[in-house]
Amino acid sequence: MNAHIKRILVALDASAHSHAALEAAAAMAARLDAELLGLFVQDMELVQLAQFPFAREVGLTSAGSRALDPRSMELALKVQAQKAKTAFEATAQRHGLQCSFRIARGQVVAELLAASADVDLLALGTSGHMEIAGRRLGSTVRGIVASASCSVLIEQRAKRPGTALLLLYEDSPAADRALARAEQIAAARGGDLVIVLTGDASTLPRLRERVDRTRRSDVRVQILALEDGATALRALVARYNCGLLMIAHDSPLLAREPELLGELRYPILLAR
């Protein structure tokens, strides 16, 4: 796959996480001169659920409940779709982006995976408005991370996000592609690129040679060789207060510690 990001798809719903993902995707598209595509999925599983007589909606704050009605659910989804379209178009216009927006009906993860087949990056929030309270990553994000064929940006805001881009560089097939994407994004962002090398330190000379050969003059690069991947990564993310953490989708560290994605409360880009 081409390392350059030219088409960015953002998944939209009615949640605050979705709005954060939209802003992040639009800002990245503007920096990279990429096309921005928006997709709102009318979740037919919710409509089908509303057809059952025992289905009820419970308010998160009031704890009151009411019966779900299929027609009301359909209307609510249409209203949410229109709000998403309005927000998307306003954001794209503010950033001066080439854009398009569409609405799909179906199962959310399946529709997003199908749409992501023709883009370089899929951006989405940590969880949607229908996700279980308290969960760090929603079921939609988990499904996308497991099966997406493109890079995935998971937007989760830090309290005071910094500007540094941290790249976890490991011995995996996607590592060099992740590095190429990191260099492209770092050049567009104008911040530092910090490459965190974990595992076998014998990779360090080859990595330094690779970076020296391809590094752009406007990107400041720092390489750190660390042994304890998960512990060191948690500490570094906090120390640098990074603006974006990049990890190859086939990261051995994530395979060992899959919950790490939810624990790191910073924007994460899983590169393919």
Which DSSP symbol is given to 241?
T
Instruction: Enter the CATH code of domain 165-271.
Output: 3.40.50.620
Mean pLDDT in the chain? 82
C-alpha pair distances (Å), 62 with each of 13, 14, 72, 76: 22, 19, 20, 19
Q: In this model, does residue 4 exceed pLDDT 90?
A: no
Q: In this model, does residue 197 exceed pLDDT 80?
A: yes
Count other Cβ atoms within 10 Å, centred on residue 254. Answer: 22
Q: Which residue type, as a one-letter code, is found at position 201? A: A
Q: Note the pLDDT of residue 258.
A: 81
Query: Under 8 Å CB-to-CB from 219, ≥6 apart: which residues?
Result: 183, 186, 187, 192, 193
DSSP percent split of the chain into helix, strand, coil, nearest 5: 45, 25, 35
Q: Phi and psi at residue 269, in whole multiples of 5°?
A: -115, 115
Most confident of 14-18, 23-27, 182-186: 23-27
pTM: 0.84
Q: Note the pLDDT of residue 207.
A: 84
Q: What is the mean pLDDT of residues 157-177?
A: 78
Instruction: Enter the CATH code of domain 7-155.
Output: 3.40.50.620
Percent of all residues in the chain with a pLDDT value above 70, rounded to a whole number: 81
CA-to-CA distance for 239 and 5, rounded, in angstroms? 28
Q: In this model, does residue 62 exceed pLDDT 90?
A: no
Q: Note the pLDDT of residue 46.
A: 65
Domain ranges in the chain with CATH number 3.40.50.620:
7-155, 165-271
Q: What is the mean pLDDT of residues 134-154?
A: 85
Q: What is the mean pLDDT of residues 182-207?
A: 83
Which is higher by pLDDT, 177 or 159? 177
Q: In this model, does residue 68 exceed pLDDT 80?
A: no
Most confident of 48-52, 143-147, 212-216: 143-147
Q: Note the pLDDT of residue 115.
A: 96
Q: In this model, does residue 227 exceed pLDDT 80?
A: no
Q: Note the pLDDT of residue 3.
A: 60
Give me the sign of the Cα torsion angle 22, 27, 30, 34.
Answer: negative
